[in-house]
Amino acid sequence: DVAVKTLVTSYSEFDTADETFGAYVDVDSSVRRAPVSVKYADWIHGRAKASAALADWNARCDECLKCVEYLLTKSHPASPSDDDEGERLELLEGLTSNFLLITNVNGTLTAYCAKPGLDVLDGVAMRALTAELTRRGIPLIERAPNAFPIEHRSTWVAAYLTSAIKGIVPLDFILFRGGKDDTGDGGNFRSAPLPASRAMALVDCYQA
């Protein structure tokens, strides 16, 4: 009952087709859910701080920057052993949803999501989405997408939240606050647009 209630109410404020959907990332706060293999009631308390941060942002920001979900992350500082990627900020999943990102590099689409059962909770809606991507010939890499370096976000074209109750929700942008995304000129966030999320027409491949 707890799991169903949280999924049902996740996007209640943004439940119309003409709304803009965003996901919120706190660059300075690496939050993960554990264990990742099962749903559990204590997660309601474990996610309270993140839920409050999301609510606070939505209460103060412009309407066009409101976010429907807080993305959990895992950070990896750069070290001398890093050959190519350096510092990482892995985008794992939402508080009540799975997350998938699609990139376009030189005309080639690739989908990324954290590995179900290892890094994030498995989900039936996510399985439907990844099956449709496979049918379309879009390769899937089960590795959490990395938000750094910031310049690489220009290759991001689409992203989705998925849950058994809400189905597949296209994201129009991902908003990053703090850390490297603090511009230092009075702006403490960057927004990464996702122009193809709706155009790819993936929402109907799973009916909640």
Measured CA to CA, the distance from residue 101 to residue 112 in angstroms comes to 5
What CATH architecture applies to the domain 2-205? Alpha-Beta Barrel (3.20)
CA distance from start to end of the chain? 17
Domain residue extents for the chain: 2-205
Task: Answer for the pair 74, 90: CB distance below 8 angstroms, yes or no.
Answer: yes
The string of pLDDT tens digits covering residues 57-78 is 999 999 999 999 999 999 877 6
Using 50, 70 and 90 to split pLDDT, how confident is the model at 12? very low
69-104 in b/e form (b: 16+ CB < 10 A) is: bbbbbebeeeeeeeeeeebbbbbbbbbbbbbbbbbe
Measured CA to CA, the distance from residue 136 to residue 71 in angstroms comes to 27
CA 152, 185, 61, 9 torsion-angle sign:
positive
What average pLDDT does the segment 132-136 reach?
97
Residue 15 pLDDT exceeds 70: no
Give pLDDT, residue 17: 58
The tokens describing 52, both together, are 């409050």
Q: pTM, whole model, 2 decimals?
A: 0.85
Measured CA to CA, the distance from residue 107 to residue 102 in angstroms comes to 12
Task: Answer for the pair 41, 2: CB distance below 8 angstroms, yes or no.
Answer: yes
Give pLDDT, residue 99: 97
The one-letter code for the residue type at 18 is D
Give pLDDT, residue 65: 94
Residue 156 pLDDT exceeds 70: yes
Residue 14 pLDDT exceeds 60: no
